[in-house]
Amino acid sequence: MERQFTEEIKSLKLGDGETFHGEGILAVTKALLQSGVSYVGGYQGAPVSHLLDVMVQARDYMDELGVHVEACTSEASAAAMLGASINYPARGAVTWKSIVGTNVAADALSYLASAGVMGGTLIVLGEDYGEGGVVAQERSHAFALKSLMWLLDPRPNLPTIVKMVERGFELSEASNTPVMMELRIRACHVRGRFPAKKNVAPAVSTRHKLDGPPKEFIYDRLAHPPATFRQEKLKADVRLPAARRFVLESKLNETFDGEEKELGIVVQGGLYNGLLLALKTLGLADAFGAARIPILALNCVYPLVPEEIAAFSRSKKAVLVLEEGQPEFIEQEIATFLRRADLPAKLHGKDCMHMAGEYNVESLVRGLTKFLAQHAPHLSTDSGSAWMSAIQRTKERAAELLGVLPMRPPTFCTGCPERPVFSAMKLVARDIGRPHVSMDVGCHCFGSFEPFSQGNTLLGYGMSLASAAGVSPMSSKRAVAIMGDGGFWHNGLLSGVASNLLNKGEGVLVIMKNGYASATGTQELLSSPPEDARMVAVGSSAAHADRTIESTLQGLGVKWLRTVNNYKVGEVAKVYKEAMQTDYKGLKVIVAEGECQLERQRRLRPAVSEKLKNGKRHVRVKYGVDEDTCTGDHSCIRLSGCPTLTVKDNPDPLRRDPVATVIDGCVGCGLCGENAHAAVLCPSFYRAEVVQNPTLWDRLIARLA
Ligand code: SF4
Ligand code: SF4
């Protein structure tokens, strides 16, 4: 795995009287243990990967406590795992990235929410919304509403996050309902501290096992008709009122007083820090968070409690609801509450703020200014206006000085094994034309950026082959689906391959077998190479001795199957061209094999530095460009896109075109040489061996050379 959590694991063991320091998401992990959680699962994805990663690495300690940890193969399996809390008083927690993960888990979640739970269940959602989000921009809130599951959105500070985990389990048990807790990217990575408590060994655990199924068979615990009809009534008539009572009595939401008593702001807990910064910018809050306008911070955004909203709004002239994204669920519900209670407070929200997209401080200052202009003209907002003007001036000045800057899209790591496959596809496209390419979720998505620009659709994790199913029969050229090994095991095997075989489909599937779920932090897969194979075969394709993907495909009935070494561009191009042109009717699968370079370097670097420290000889391969031979047409760069292959001024005063050059980050993957050969480029690339701690023999040979 990409990161070692040695220090964080120590923090998990802190007890009464000690202080936890660290990131929000790790505070959640500690809070789960303090809450006596019996089992934990999930599927990795930013920004919540660390929750599960740290638990997987702390397996020995989890065993001591009796906590079962499961690295699930998808969010659907994680959600279904919560079924353990339907019949037993066992607390369970799972995590994944939302909205995408919640979509995958939706089926199991509906059934879980219908049946209800006995043991507390908490679903920790990485709410990947707004600036920095990498998934479709939707909100988890919609799922909470449609299934009647409760949704916590804690203020981004560690004590509040920890309190919400602990209260979340209690809320779940008090209302027999699963609870979701959304954490935005910034909340996951916010740093802070909280007073730790001793971990609680769960009552039901791997150390204290259940002595069998429930004594009494209770049909109503199955989400199956006719029980589902009763369960729907229970949700509305029993569980919802119980949840509202708990939210109110446990004071999950927080009211902060302010001297402008006729005004009020209702804010999602997760936006609270941004709101305070905006108020401070407007001169309406101090540096310690005391604001002049009363605030109701919703750490629980669903269900809302009508009495609480009414109590906050009763004496107010106007209330502003700050709710990110669309539609405005909270604002609409508050409008209903105010109308039913016949309260006169004027309600604002999306009329002052934009509908779609993140609420950053700049937009909050703008929205608050609009709100205050209507209802508090006596409050000066000059400092906010001055701040906004300064930002505008800076932007204009920057545009003046820099002009239009080129896009800087993300790209593959230096030496990534997936880059050569796209080089090969680009080369073949020159001969046979560009096919329709269905992309998938994973590092290979970078192939959709320059210099490859391949990919026509992206429909979700493991969905590339399935999303080509409608295109293939209608295309004269075979459609190509790209899928990572992570996506293959997550959804691609069944949704893509099995479906294609069932329908006697056509097309070409390229599986990038880099060994791990790399894009989410190089977590292990069913087909990850065994630890000893990795150590023995560092840098060689033999590191992928595992053939689980190939044997699974053969077992399923795939007849046209080839495995290629990614870095051999010519070979990959040949096999790919064959797949595109063969007379064979049916699915053609190319398993493109090459270990994730990030993971390889992570493993290699400490071993190399240890070697060098001990004065041992080490040879590093590096590629270079002979600047006298380079023609300056940069075909190599257009075929590779490696960040260490770049340009520099031409040293020849008679030539103006910059020459290609390889800077120091080159990891010697060999793609440069392979591309030059496969694409018949100018012979300017050379392969060099950098010898560190050379022997006398090395020195002698070097001198002679
Ligand atoms: S993490 Fe691994 S697979 Fe992903 S871009 Fe980097 S080297 Fe390639
Ligand atoms: S050999 Fe070329 S593609 Fe590979 S790391 Fe070095 S510069 Fe990048």
Least distant ligand from the CA of 594: 1
Q: What is the pLDDT of residue 656?
A: 85
Cβ-contact 572, 420 below 8 angstroms:
yes
Residues with CB under 6 A from ligand 1: 412-413, 416, 418, 443, 514, 518-519, 596-598
Tell me how far apart the alpha carbons of residues 521 and 596 are, in angstroms, rounded to a whole number: 11
The residue nearest atom 8 of ligand 1, judged by CA position, is 416
Q: Which atom of ligand 1 has the smallest separation from the CA of 446?
A: 5
Residue 650: per-residue pLDDT: 92
Q: Are 268 and 298 in contact (CB under 8 A)?
A: yes
| Inter-residue long-range contacts of 579-583, CB under 8 Å, 24+ positions, other chains counted | 579/478, 579/508, 580/428, 580/432, 580/435, 580/477, 580/478, 580/480, 580/508, 581/432
Ligand 2 pocket: which of 645, 647, 661, 663 to mutate (most atoms <8 Å of CB)? 645
Alpha helices by DSSP H, 433-583: 464-468, 485-487, 499-502, 531-536, 548-556, 569-581
Q: What is the pLDDT of residue 2?
A: 60
Strands 150-152 and 300-302, sheet pairing? antiparallel
Residues in the chain, total = 705
Nearest ligand 2 atom to alpha carbon 642:
8
Question: What sign for the dihedral angle of Cα 92, 98, 102, 104?
Answer: negative
Question: What are residue 696's phi and psi, to 5 degrees?
Answer: -60, -40
C-alpha to C-alpha distances, 186 to 96, 99, 130, 368, 528, nearest whole angstrom: 16, 16, 10, 22, 31
Question: CA angle, 659 as apex, 629 and 627 as ends, to 5°?
Answer: 35
Which structure tokens are listed for 618? 């080490």
Specify the pLDDT at position 537.
45
Q: Quote the pTM value.
A: 0.94
Cβ of 644 closer than 6 Å to ligand 2, yes or no, is yes
Ligand nearest to the CA of 417: 1
Looking up tokens 């007849």, which residue turns up? Answer: 559
Query: 134 C-alpha vs ligand 1 centroid, how far in Å?
Result: 16
What integer pLDDT is reported at residue 114 of this predicted model? 98
The Å distance, Cα 513 to ligand 2 centre, comes to: 20
The dihedral built from the CA positions of residue 114, 115, 116 and 120, taken in this order, carries a sign that is negative
In this predicted structure, what is the pLDDT of residue 407? 81
- Residues 458-472 pLDDT 10s: 999 999 999 999 999
Which regions in the chain score pLDDT beneath 70?
1-2, 533-545
Neighbours of 361 (CB within 10 A): 17
**DSSP strand pairing (508-513 vs 121-127):** unpaired
Q: What per-residue confidence (pLDDT) applies to 539?
A: 46
- Best residue for ligand 1 mutational test, from 3, 413, 516 (most atoms within 8 Å of Cβ): 413
DSSP of 384-430: HHHHHHHHHHHHHHHHHHH-SPPP----PPTT-TTHHHHHHHHHHHH
Strands 346-348 and 39-42: unpaired
Which residue among 422, 446, 647, 667 has the greatest number of ligand 2 atoms within 8 angstroms of its CB, and so is best to mutate? 667
pLDDT in tens, 560-598: 999 999 999 999 999 999 999 999 999 999 999 999 999
Beta strand extents in 198-299 (DSSP E only): 254-256, 263-268, 295-298
Q: Provide the 3-class DSSP secondary structure of residue 517.
A: strand
| Closest ligand to residue 676's CA | 2
State the distance from the centre of ligand 2 to the C-alpha of 416, rounded, in angstroms: 9
Ligand 1 center from residue 443 Cα (angstroms): 6
| CA-closest residue to ligand 2 atom 4 | 669
Which atom of ligand 2 lies closest to the CA of 662? 7
Q: Using CA positions, which residue lies closest to atom 2 of ligand 2?
A: 672
Q: Is 384 in the pocket of ligand 2 (CB under 6 A)?
A: no
Pocket test for ligand 2, best of 411, 412, 413, 414 (most atoms within 8 A of CB): 414
Q: Tell me the ligand closest to 642's alpha carbon.
A: 2
Say if ligand 2 is within 6 A of residue 670 CB.
yes
* Ligand 2 center from residue 627 Cα (angstroms): 16
Pocket test for ligand 2, best of 630, 662, 675 (most atoms within 8 A of CB): 662
Ligand 2 in reach of 668 Cβ (< 6 A): yes
User: Quick one: which atom of ligand 1 is closest to the CA of 514?
Assistant: 3
Give me the pLDDT at residue 655, please. Answer: 86
**Closest ligand 2 atom to 419 CA:** 3
- For the Cβ of 669 lying below 6 angstroms from any atom of ligand 2, the answer is yes
